[in-house]
Chains A and B, each alone.
Chain A
């Protein structure tokens, strides 16, 4: 495989992390020494600072709201709303001990893990078959899988809801576990195809000559070599599941079966009174698992995102 800048652009899933760090090491200087500090402050640091503040402000506001006592929430002009004088964890307490929140969290986790696991197994097999077994029509199937990626859930949820009813899955976690893979499989397959393409053929030929079956090759050679790709696919797929809203809203109706995103918007509203503190605490706690996961695997996450796009 050639590794010019051009091909690199199209195959970052594979060489992503490596080429990026290489580019950083090689070229980080560039012509930047030509720029003076004041100039750079105006053209780079200030705009960057403003954008980052705007991007992060909602999270700050979420956090501040979730630890404010109720009376402060509805009194903006009494003091500085951007700060809390008497922080309280009552909203979190109510959320975790006086509502179904832990159940919703567990549902979300359960659905996300199962759906991701199923999708990755199916995608590894499919990606291996497309890139390595190269059966008749493999290229076409690869293209069709990419097209499947472009079919948005918002045009499928109505027919799917009738199908879910017919299969008797309505209002069970299986409705979500079985439908989420349709979003995840195209993405994971496409990402893993990129990884598999970079594994040298010679390894596989050696194994074939030594008498290994295709299955043994996949399990003992390809999968161990593609671990970074699998991690990327897992994290990204898990995030997509956790985020998913429209299927969860349509296929789940009873309170104890809901996932966090759907429960938050429907269960924290008493008539017209919004319990803002609990709502914000719920949103914050619901985002936390993803943010923690993301903090540990930033590189994998970025390579999954850029890989899937540029492949």
Chain B
């Protein structure tokens, strides 16, 4: 409607069909195209093209400084026999699962706490978000120091409380299992604020009159949460957890800054292993193959939460816009 008006005014000097040049300036589709050019240029050149190229490289034996030749599935066959890769794959899955589950539980709990009527609520909320603002690498460096094998402040605290003996400190970063726990802890620490604050934003849109009504009908606190809060929050939970799982699964910087995959490759995630093999080791093809093997898992995670979300929308009878 509005565009028809424009088309008419623009075409006034030339009655009838506007010229091809006029078309380029006025036609809705061409206009849209011009506006999209900058964004599309970036995304095609530096996102779509590399994605395609990465897929191609995973089927080649490319090395740094040498175009690879097509080797079919050789990289993947090689990887499926590689114990380091299998280990990284398993640890990535465990890492994602444990970290996401704990982040979600504590994040939701924190959101519920913050949703109370608190003094200095805005201040507390902004303080809680700080771990998310600070660059991951820099807080990872702090954790590296906190969990230093010799000079760990945690060890000091445990010694002071008499829980462990001063002569036998915990080897946080040296022991494979402890190192795994430490990186999972650091990831949880960093992820909680994001989940808590986004869920809090969702909680604040739930009208308290619903709780009043439920309480008058005799609902307990748990029932209030289970039958009022949770269903109303599900769409947001689905999206937040999709993002959380996605970013946890593809995490790179936290591991690289804290352990670089060590000790004895125990804390390698797929992303760090792909960096080590592809960039440091120079086997671009193999690195690309490791990176590409993350895609099916990512798609599965996205589909899972996406369809969870769709079902909820449909159940609530909301328009899907």
Contacts and interface: CB of A to CB of B under 8 A. Distances in A.
Nearest to A45: B118
Contacts of B253: 245-246, 261
B208 A291 contact: no
A5 interface: yes
B239 interface: yes
B250 A155 contact: yes
B27 to A, nearest CB: 9
Given A161-B279, A261-B253, A154 B2 contact: no
A245 B141 contact: no
A287 B138 contact: yes
Contacts of B150: 74
Contacts of B274: 154, 158
B236 to A, nearest CB: 6
A239 interface: yes
Nearest to A29: B117
Contacts of B227: none
Contacts of B129: 294, 298, 301-302
Interface string A4-22: 0111111010001001100
A121 B39 CA distance: 9
Contact of B205 (A9, A136, A291): A9
Interface in A280-305: 280, 282-284, 286-287, 290-291, 294-295, 298, 301-302, 305
Contact of B133 (A152, A260, A290): A290
A249 interface: yes
Contacts of A280: 141-142, 145
B151 interface: yes
A129 B208 contact: no
B134 to A, nearest CB: 4
Binding site secondary structure of chain B: helix
A157 B275 contact: yes
B261 interface: no
Contact of A160 (B46, B141, B201, B212): B46
Contact of B35 (A12, A76, A129, A155): A129
Category for how many chain A residues contact B: 35 or more
Given A58-B139, A154-B291, A205 B2 contact: yes
Contact of B136 (A32, A205, A245): A245
B176 interface: no
Interface in A104-126: 118-119, 121-123, 125-126
Residue among A6, A29, A158, A208 with the most chain B CB within 10 A?
A158
A155 B136 contact: no
Contacts of A135: 28-29, 31-33
B252 A310 contact: no
Given A185-B39, A208-B2, A305 B197 contact: yes
Residue among B35, B138, B252, B253 with the most chain A CB within 10 A?
B138
Contacts of B204: 20, 23-24
Contacts of A40: 116
B146 interface: yes
B295 A155 contact: yes
A282 B274 CA distance: 28
A242 interface: yes
Interface in B273-289: 274-275, 278-279, 284, 287-288
Contacts of B192: 51, 55
Binding site secondary structure of chain A: helix
Interface stretch (B14-22, B47-55, B78-86): B47-55
Contact of B42 (A7, A74, A77, A181): A181
Given A135-B33, A246-B275, A250-B279, A81 B252 contact: no
A257 interface: no
A90 interface: no
Contact of A279 (B141, B153, B256): B141
A50 B256 CA distance: 29
A226 interface: no
B127 interface: yes
A29 B207 CA distance: 12
Contacts of B250: 152-155
B9 interface: yes
Contact of B2 (A125, A153, A204, A213): A204
A150 interface: yes
A290 to B, nearest CB: 5
Contact of A125 (B35, B208, B235): B35
A265 B288 contact: no
Contacts of A261: 135-138, 253
B246 interface: yes
A31 B211 contact: yes
A80 to B, nearest CB: 9
A182 B189 contact: no
Interface string A193-213: 000000001001100110101
Interface in B34-84: 35-40, 42-43, 46-47, 49-51, 53-54, 57, 62
Given A135-B28, A249-B256, A156 B54 contact: yes
Given A77-B166, A130-B36, A310-B235, 9 more contacts: A6-B318, A44-B116, A47-B109, A48-B114, A154-B252, A158-B57, A261-B138, A279-B145, A287-B133
Please list the 7 inter-chain residue pairs (A to B) with the smallest Cβ-Cβ separation, ordered nearest first. Answer: A135-B32, A129-B35, A154-B271, A30-B208, A152-B250, A126-B39, A245-B253
25 contacts: A12-B201, A30-B208, A44-B116, A65-B145, A82-B153, A121-B38, A130-B36, A135-B31, A136-B28, A145-B39, A152-B298, A158-B278, A160-B46, A162-B62, A163-B50, A179-B46, A246-B253, A249-B275, A264-B141, A265-B256, A279-B141, A283-B142, A287-B135, A287-B139, A310-B239
